[in-house]
């Protein structure tokens, strides 16, 4: 037995003091008595157990010396060096990305092999060894925190299914390191689903890679973008395919449009396929690789484009801008144009309320009619009776400033612009001026009782050159903003096809989305902020992020298959074992024992 | 009486002495005395205390004829008187070493008590014998008030020294006494060989015996705790004992049993028993105790 603080052992000398005190006390104080036989007669009965009395005294001395020894030894922090089986911890990382759904020869899927391997590993685990079960997909997460219970860990393995997306080995390894108990040797065992891939970045000491699955001839989609082409006239598709194998492959692609393409993929190379179509409205697009490989999951992609939303537009014009408007509106496939209206003012307000957008050119009703949105071009505004507008005449109003951040004025350059014959007046309450000139606001928009309006207080023909060619752009901006605000669109969606039947995809959407879109979540088993992992989402126009992206899903490490026996080899090491608590416990027991004895002897007396 | 200074004050206050002069000693039995004294012995004979009349008989002393009755009744009657006897007060003071115990020491209380009794006796013209046991000194007799101070001197010269063995000393002393009388034993009665033999011997010799049992409160409630080396004051014998609370209780019980036994023996044998703790104030408390015991009236 050794001591961390041997200096405290000097306190054992206090035992000598106790011994001396005991001897002095044993001698007793000299007391004179007048007649000793009286005492002797009394103590003849009391002292009938002198032997027990001596034993009691001796026990008391022994108790005091032992208690002192225990206290001093506890202070000295004793410890012994013993040969013990090293306490170890290992983290079992199961790759459960989509590739684990691949069919294998001797098992239904590659995941079955991985699960079987995990069971074998857990059964080999030492009884005192703790294991943490982690998975890689859709994000690194802990399934079972540190546990010695093999059955619990096995149930944890059984509760996991392969995902429909990629995985994050780097993040999972990082998480495993964070979960490692302090002061314990920890190993990480990764059960991955492929072989002969280099994962140089994550190879390190204490990390063992066990591979399951044989097939490695995988060719799969790695990116898939589906979006509408300009002005919604058609659609565009961008697909990336990658050959994960070591040999060049020639594959055939069958598109839902009936088109068939053949491409050649070099080993470990990626190829892009771009296609387009002119089909409008609802579109279901899919593409399938006609190739049998190890992983059927990434052999098909598909996406959905929502049907085109039609917008009805009425044009109330005196004829000056009709060609311009007609040509502009024709660029919007979703716009249903109404005829130029010639209505009496009384009946007009009732007839235009069925249109989504009404354009007034040079004339406007006395009141803002029912409806959703109104554009006014050089028309006296309906609120003129409240705020009479005056025309400025032919003097030039020069633009002084404009809101460059406004979506209405996107891509417009209005400097050096002047207009003539501007209607001047106070802009109504709640309106936002967009362009300022020397004679007042030139353009403003606002809303009143849920109705959107945009007001152009000048004629396009009475401006200088810069605005005239830019007017279609301004008008398009206004229409797009109107569409953005007033016309909700069905988002375009696309998912990877996993080989399941069509009827099931509705139920699978949330889970499949996990692998495709960005996540920023905390694992419930960890403290807040301990772990945070963000997967990259695409840009705005990318409605579905690529799945099985090589950079994310290729978690497969180098395949130097290490001896599995090394993973669970048990070592015996010399470790100091503190005896302080043992001594303290013995001291407490001794005090309790002495207290019990004292109480018992008192009762006996 | 005015005491000599320096002697009487050792035992008693002068005012207390004056009060003691009015006290008297009661002798419950009739003793035969050598000289007339202040006590009525119950025996008819020459004296001053009238007792009774009786018919004249031949040979009676004519001096005791009551001539007044003869003149009225024409019969001769002789007046009888009680003989006033001198009683012998034998004070036996224990001067064994155990009497030095207590605060104040029991011997001091015993001396004061003996002084008080002796003073009372001498004031009433009794003979007072003082015997210190277990010393081998002979019993010293005192008679008359003039002997008060020699009596006190004798008392003050007594010292505690030896081991108590009552019987040989008392037997030797009492054997030489020619007259019976009152015996007052002032002692703690700690005799290894027992006090019963002595008391029964005195009763046998027809003494009226009074036991004045002196004890100190420390004997009743000893303040000892834990390990103690108890040493006997008389024998010097030592015992190492562990004084536990229960042992202390047993000792107290033993002491009380000792007192009860002494008291019971006195009651059986017709011996007066007075228990005198040393802590009690001496003067009137002592008198009340003596009255209660029947030693004073």
| CA dihedral sign of residues A363, A367, A370, A376 | positive
- Considering chain B, what is the average pLDDT of its residues? 78
* Higher per-residue pLDDT: A530 or B264: B264
Side-chain-facing half-sphere of B227: CA atoms under 13 Å = 13
What is the layout of strands, in order, in the sheet containing B226-232? A29-33, B226-232, B238-243
**Within the 198-237 window of chain B, which residues sit less than 8 Å (CB to CB) from chain A?**
216, 219, 222, 224, 226-235, 237
Taking an 8 Å cut-off on Cβ atoms, the answer to whether A47 and B241 are in contact is yes
Chain B contacts of A25, Cβ < 8 Å? 226-227
Instruction: Note the pLDDT tens digit of each residue in B43-93.
Output: 666 667 788 888 988 888 888 889 999 999 888 999 888 766 667 888 999
Q: Which DSSP string corresponds to B282-297? A: SHHHHHHHHHHHTSB-
CA–CA gap between residue B96 and residue B132 (Å, rounded): 9
The residue of B105, B110, B248, B254 whose CB has the most chain A CBs within 10 angstroms, and thus the best one to mutate to test that interface, is B254
Evaluate whether A394 touches A400 at the Cβ level (below 8 Å). no
Q: How many CB pairs under 8 A join A and B?
A: 95
Asked if the model's pLDDT at residue A23 lies above 60, the reply is: yes
Instruction: Note the pLDDT tens digit of each residue in A145-191.
Output: 888 888 899 999 999 988 766 677 778 888 888 877 766 677 888 88
What band does A419 get if pLDDT is binned at 50, 70 and 90?
A: confident
Asked if the model's pLDDT at residue B277 lies above 80, the reply is: yes
According to the model, what pLDDT value does residue A298 have?
A: 65
Chain B contacts of A605, Cβ < 8 Å? 244-246
Chain A contacts of B247, Cβ < 8 Å? 42-43, 46-47
Which residue among B224, B228, B233 places its CB closest to the CB of A34? Answer: B233
According to the model, what pLDDT value does residue A234 have?
A: 73
Instruction: Note the pLDDT tens digit of each residue in A278-295.
Output: 776 667 777 888 876 655
In this prediction, residues A361-380 reach a mean pLDDT of 76
Taking an 8 Å cut-off on Cβ atoms, the answer to whether B250 and A34 are in contact is no
CA–CA gap between residue A157 and residue A135 (Å, rounded): 9
Q: How far A593 CA lies from chain B's nearest CA (Å)?
A: 21
- Closest residue of B to A43, CA-based? B247
The pair of three-digit structure tokens given for residue B129, joined into one six-digit string: 């014998």
Taking an 8 Å cut-off on Cβ atoms, the answer to whether B250 and A42 are in contact is yes
Asked if the model's pLDDT at residue B281 lies above 80, the reply is: no
Instruction: Note the pLDDT tens digit of each residue in A563-579.
Output: 333 344 445 556 677 88
Instruction: Note the pLDDT tens digit of each residue in A25-62.
Output: 776 778 888 888 888 777 765 554 567 777 877 888 88
Taking an 8 Å cut-off on Cβ atoms, the answer to whether B245 and A605 are in contact is yes
According to the model, what pLDDT value does residue A531 have?
A: 25
* Higher per-residue pLDDT: A391 or A276: A276
According to the model, what pLDDT value does residue A158 have?
A: 92
pTM (whole model) above 0.90? no
Report yes or no: B2 at the A interface, CB cutoff 8 Å.
no
Asked if the model's pLDDT at residue A525 lies above 60, the reply is: no
According to the model, what pLDDT value does residue A530 have?
A: 25
- Closest residue of A to B257, CA-based? A38
Taking an 8 Å cut-off on Cβ atoms, the answer to whether A26 and B231 are in contact is no
The residue of A42, A56, A58 whose CB has the most chain B CBs within 10 angstroms, and thus the best one to mutate to test that interface, is A42
Evaluate whether A32 touches B231 at the Cβ level (below 8 Å). yes
- Closest residue of A to B102, CA-based? A34
According to the model, what pLDDT value does residue B16 have?
A: 64
CA–CA gap between residue B229 and residue B242 (Å, rounded): 9
Q: How far B52 CA lies from chain A's nearest CA (Å)?
A: 55
What band does B262 get if pLDDT is binned at 50, 70 and 90?
A: very high
Asked if the model's pLDDT at residue A494 lies above 60, the reply is: no
Lowest mean pLDDT among B36-40, B134-138, B219-223: B36-40
Instruction: Note the pLDDT tens digit of each residue in B96-146.
Output: 888 888 888 898 888 888 888 888 788 776 788 888 887 777 788 888 888
Task: Please count the other Cβ atoms lying within 10 Å of the Cβ belonging to residue A259.
Answer: 11
In this prediction, residues B194-220 reach a mean pLDDT of 87
Rounded percentage of chain B residues whose pLDDT exceeds 70: 75
According to the model, what pLDDT value does residue B7 have?
A: 52
Instruction: Note the pLDDT tens digit of each residue in A401-412.
Output: 888 888 888 888
Evaluate whether B280 touches B218 at the Cβ level (below 8 Å). no
Asked if the model's pLDDT at residue A477 lies above 90, the reply is: no
The residue of B97, B101, B228 whose CB has the most chain A CBs within 10 angstroms, and thus the best one to mutate to test that interface, is B228
The pair of three-digit structure tokens given for residue A377, joined into one six-digit string: 């071009």
Asked if the model's pLDDT at residue A493 lies above 50, the reply is: no
What band does B288 get if pLDDT is binned at 50, 70 and 90?
A: low
Lowest mean pLDDT among A105-114, A325-334, B22-31, B36-45: B22-31
Q: How far A59 CA lies from chain B's nearest CA (Å)?
A: 16
According to the model, what pLDDT value does residue A216 have?
A: 64
* Higher per-residue pLDDT: A356 or A74: A74
- Stated as kind and residue range, the H or E segment containing A401 is strand A396-402
According to the model, what pLDDT value does residue B103 have?
A: 83
Chain B contacts of A36, Cβ < 8 Å? 230-232, 235, 237, 239
According to the model, what pLDDT value does residue B62 have?
A: 85
| CA dihedral sign of residues A553, A558, A563, A566 | negative
Chain A contacts of B237, Cβ < 8 Å? 36
Would you list which residues of chain A are within 8 Å, Cβ to Cβ, of chain B? 25-43, 45-47, 53, 605
- Closest residue of A to B193, CA-based? A37
- Considering chain A, what is the average pLDDT of its residues? 70
Strand residue runs (E) in A173-320: 185-192, 207-211, 219-228, 235-243, 249-255, 260-265, 270-277, 283-289, 300-305, 311-317
| ipTM, two decimals | 0.75
């Amino acid at each position: 037995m050794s001591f961390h603080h041997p200096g405290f052992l000097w306190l054992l000398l206090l035992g000598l003091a106790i011994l001396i005190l005991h001897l002095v006390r044993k001698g007793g104080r000299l007391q004179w008595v007048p007649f000793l036989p009286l005492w002797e007669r009394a103590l003849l009965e009391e002292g009938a157990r002198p032997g027990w009395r001596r034993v009691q005294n001796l026990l008391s001395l022994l108790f005091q010396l032992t208690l002192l020894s225990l206290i001093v030894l506890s202070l000295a922090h004793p410890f012994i060096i013993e040969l013990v089986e090293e306490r170890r911890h290992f983290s079992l990382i199961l790759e459960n990305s989509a590739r684990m759904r691949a069919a294998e020869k001797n098992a239904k899927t590659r995941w079955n092999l991985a699960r079987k391997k995990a069971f074998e590993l857990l059964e080999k685990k030492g009884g005192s060894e703790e294991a943490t079960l982690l998975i890689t997909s859709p994000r690194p997460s802990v399934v079972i925190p540190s546990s010695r219970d093999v059955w619990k860990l096995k149930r944890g393995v059984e509760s996991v299914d392969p995902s429909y997306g990629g995985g994050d080995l780097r993040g999972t390894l990082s998480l495993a390191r964070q979960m490692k108990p302090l002061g314990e040797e920890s190993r990480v065992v990764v059960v991955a689903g492929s072989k002969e891939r280099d994962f140089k970045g994550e190879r390190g000491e204490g990390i063992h890679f066990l591979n399951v699955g044989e097939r490695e001839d995988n060719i799969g989609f790695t990116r898939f973008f589906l979006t509408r082409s300009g002005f919604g006239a058609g659609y565009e598709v961008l697909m990336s395919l990658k050959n994960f194998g070591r040999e060049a492959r020639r594959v055939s692609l069958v598109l839902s449009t009936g088109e068939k393409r053949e491409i050649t993929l070099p080993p470990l190379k990626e190829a892009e396929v771009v296609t387009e179509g002119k089909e409008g409205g609802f579109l279901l697009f899919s593409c399938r690789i006609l190739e049998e490989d190890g992983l059927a999951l990434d052999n098909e992609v598909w996406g959905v484009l929502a049907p085109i939303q039609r917008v009805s537009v009425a044009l109330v014009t005196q004829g000056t801008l009709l060609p311009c408007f007609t040509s502009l509106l024709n660029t919007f496939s979703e716009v249903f144009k109404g005829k130029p209206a010639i209505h009496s003012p009384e009946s007009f307000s009732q007839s235009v309320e069925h249109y989504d957008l009404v354009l007034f050119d040079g004339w406007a009703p006395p009141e803002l009619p029912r409806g959703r949105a109104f554009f006014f071009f050089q028309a006296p505004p309906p609120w003129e009776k409240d705020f009479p507008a005056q025309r400025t005449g032919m003097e030039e109003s020069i633009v002084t400033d404009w809101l460059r951040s406004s979506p209405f004025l996107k891509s417009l350059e209005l400097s050096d612009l002047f207009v003539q014959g501007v209607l001047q007046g106070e802009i109504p309450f709640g309106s936002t001026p967009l362009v300022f000139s020397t004679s007042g606001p030139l353009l403003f928009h606002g809303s009143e009782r849920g109705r959107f309006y945009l007001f152009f207080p000048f004629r396009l023909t009475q401006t200088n050159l810069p605005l005239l060619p830019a007017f279609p752009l301004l008008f398009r901006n206004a229409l797009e903003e109107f569409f953005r605000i007033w016309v909700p669109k069905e988002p375009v969606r696309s998912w990877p096809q996993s080989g399941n039947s069509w009827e099931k995809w509705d139920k699978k959407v949330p889970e499949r989305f996990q692998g495709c879109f960005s996540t920023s979540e905390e694992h419930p088993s960890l403290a807040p902020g301990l772990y945070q992992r963000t997967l990259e989402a695409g840009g705005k126009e990318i409605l579905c992020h690529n799945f099985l992206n090589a950079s994310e899903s290729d978690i497969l490490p180098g395949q130097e298959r290490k001896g599995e026996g090394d993973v669970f080899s048990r070592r015996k090491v010399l470790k100091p074992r503190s005896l302080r608590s043992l001594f303290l416990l013995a001291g407490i027991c001794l005090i309790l024992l002495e207290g019990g004895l004292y109480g018992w002897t008192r009762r006996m007396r | 009486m005015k005491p000599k200074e320096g002697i009487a004050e050792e035992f008693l206050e002068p005012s207390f002495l004056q009060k003691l002069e009015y006290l008297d000693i009661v002798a419950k039995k009739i003793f035969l005395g050598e000289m007339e004294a202040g006590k009525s012995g119950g025996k008819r004979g020459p004296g001053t205390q009238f007792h009774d009349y009786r018919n004249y008989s031949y040979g009676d002393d004519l001096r005791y004829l009551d001539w007044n009755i003869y003149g009225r009744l024409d019969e001769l009657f002789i007046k009888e008187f009680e003989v006033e006897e001198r009683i012998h007060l034998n004070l036996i003071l224990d001067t064994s070493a155990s009497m030095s115990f207590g605060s104040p020491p029991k011997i001091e209380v015993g001396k004061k008590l003996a002084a008080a009794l002796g003073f009372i006796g001498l004031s009433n013209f009794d003979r007072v014998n003082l015997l210190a046991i277990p010393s081998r000194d002979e019993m010293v007799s005192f008679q008359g008030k003039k002997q008060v101070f020699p009596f006190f001197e004798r008392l003050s010269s007594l010292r505690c020294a030896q081991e108590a063995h009552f019987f040989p000393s008392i037997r030797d002393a009492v054997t030489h006494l020619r007259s019976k009388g009152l015996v007052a034993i002032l002692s703690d009665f700690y005799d290894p060989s027992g006090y019963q033999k002595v008391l029964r011997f005195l009763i046998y010799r027809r003494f009226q015996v009074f036991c004045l049992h002196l004890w100190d409160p420390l004997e009743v409630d000893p303040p000892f705790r834990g390990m103690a080396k108890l040493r006997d004051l008389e024998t010097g014998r030592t015992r190492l004992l562990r004084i536990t609370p229960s042992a202390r209780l047993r000792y107290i019980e033993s002491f009380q049993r000792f007192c009860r036994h002494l008291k019971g023996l006195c009651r059986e044998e017709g011996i007066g028993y007075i228990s005198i703790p040393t802590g009690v104030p001496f003067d009137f408390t002592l008198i009340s105790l003596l009255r209660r015991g029947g030693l004073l009236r």
